[in-house]
Structure 1
């Protein structure tokens, strides 16, 4: 029996003898099945060829990535908090070095995940770190390929995790969420955006898509709703889901001007 991992999106599935016949996340139009077809691995095989690398992004913020790149290639974040550390988003691989490092930092109080493309091996991470509670929005619950007592499906527009706030924005997925941490960026606040809003390569804007690989844009109402969801929160920094996708200053203002630019383009 094996917990198979999709090599295209990085999602870990429930225990079974043979790989699943399909990966529902890849079959959805927001993701894709590679031209070579669906392929599978598992935690043991992945650990023989890959590691988890850490980077200190700013005070109290560590990014984690699977190296070399695997599946979607996103980064997760270990966020140090006086109320208990939080893992934002997740990776397909967990290794002993990361378990030890998280323990040295004081462990985890919660795992919070923005949307289904980053669910990956969330149950494995929770179990390895002491059955840490996992928070996903209930609107995304149907996409979870593993379940367990640690999985919490929160409802509504926001929920508090200590000093942090999870905010449902919708758009990319119905339950796509961001996390606001007001004590970071020198007390001016930081927003962890996942794919809900994507930091552009010039790091001067964010943008919005239903599907990034398949280039399906979001409509104006969905984008306006994202803006309305985050407008009550003021933040200086924005941490996107991929390496280098960080905006260090004027984050709130950049979201506002990005919405104006996007809506002008799509409605013009």
Structure 2
């Protein structure tokens, strides 16, 4: 319930969760809690699907579970891709995606956002696209997994970009047709949009307040430099960096590094 990670069906849950016991996550003081999709549905969990912009649908959950991400369905002339699927799905969500043209592939920005990725793959016979370096984090085996590294053009105008940082395989999705043709970047929390919707930042662990080292920040910026984008969508409904996103990314990366190096005069 804390991380939203999925495990194979079993009579008893694992003794611990690999995601939660990792330094980037956490285990509640009251101990690990486990759930099933059927149990969550009986408790009133339900999905919500709504348009974010033309060609982009958000897929979320009305009650918080795991890290609480909202997935994004990118619709193209060559098929659709689901990004960062939430940890819960139901028939309403499957029906909405089917009505939008179905699903060719499902992928995620990093392992914390794998969510119900195998269930989505099974529902549509869709490929699961995972960065090779992080594929071992998928806890439910699936023959639909296809690994990649570096960059991967998936659909018309849709490219996956391995950025590193939070995880070695942390990725972004570049959607050339997004933001009215100015380009949009889907990032999960490979970079994090801040509440004022005018800046971004970087974290190794958001809940444990651990920053990202300079060389990894520079690696993210370098990986994204070849792409044009005016908008950045994080892993949740809000906040969104709505304009001038490429410039903001580079300016904020420089500012972040100044703080890491102690080059900021906070007393002046």
- TM tier relative to shorter chain: over 0.9
Give the one of 102, 110, 118 matched to 1:107.
Answer: 102
Whole-Å Cα distance in 1 between the matches of residues 8 and 191 of structure 2? 30
Deviation at 1:85, TM superposition (A): 0.9
Following TM superposition, by how much is the alpha carbon of 1:63 offset from its aligned partner in structure 2, in angstroms? 1.2
Structure 1 segments of 4+ aligned residues over 2 angstroms from their partners: none
For 1:59 and 1:121, the matched residues in 2 are separated by: 25
What are the Cα deviations for residues 185-207 of structure 1, in whole angstroms up to 9, with x where unaligned? 11111000011000001111111
- The structure with the greater share of residues assigned to strand is 1
Residue of structure 1 in register with 2:237 after alignment: 243
Q: In the TM superposition, what is the alpha-carbon distance from 1:15 to its structure 2 partner?
A: 2.1
RMSD: 0.9
Q: Where do 5+ consecutive residues of structure 1 fail to align?
A: 1-6
Q: CA deviation at 1:55?
A: 2.4
- Secondary structure of the residue aligned to 2:9 is strand
- 1:77-96 alignment runs, 5 A limit: 77-96=72-91
Name the counterpart of 1:142: 136
Partner of residue 74 from structure 1, selected from 61, 69, 72:
69
User: In structure 2, what is the Cα distance between the partners aligned to 1:261 and 1:57?
Assistant: 30
Question: Aligned equivalents of 1:139 and 1:22: distance in 2?
Answer: 23
SS in 1 for 2:222: helix
Match of 1:132? 126
Secondary structure of the structure 2 residue equivalent to 1:127:
helix
Within 5 Å, give how 1:210-225 maps onto structure 2: 210-225=204-219
Count of residue pairs the alignment pairs up:
260
Cα distance in 1 for residues equivalent to 2:188 and 2:240: 11
Match of 1:234 among 209, 228, 235: 228
1:60 alignment partner in structure 2 = 55
Structure 1 distance, partners of 2:212, 2:127, is: 31
Q: Where in structure 2 are the equivalents of 1:3-22 lying within 5 Å? A: 7-22=1-16
C-alpha distance after superposition, 1:198-222 (max 9, x if no partner): 0001111111111000001011100
TM-score w.r.t. structure 1 length?
Answer: 0.95
* TM-score of the pair, normalised by structure 2: 0.95
Which residue is 1:3 aligned to?
none
Q: What aligned pairs does 1:162-177 form with structure 2 within 5 A after superposition? A: 162-163=155-156, 164-177=158-171
Give 3-state SS (helix, strand or coil) of 1:188's partner: coil
Q: Deviations over 1:66-116 (max 9, x none)?
A: 111112111110111111111011111111111111111110111121100
Query: 2:107·2:114 contact (CA, 8 Å) conserved in 1?
Result: no
Q: Distance in 2 between matches of 1:109 and 1:245?
A: 28
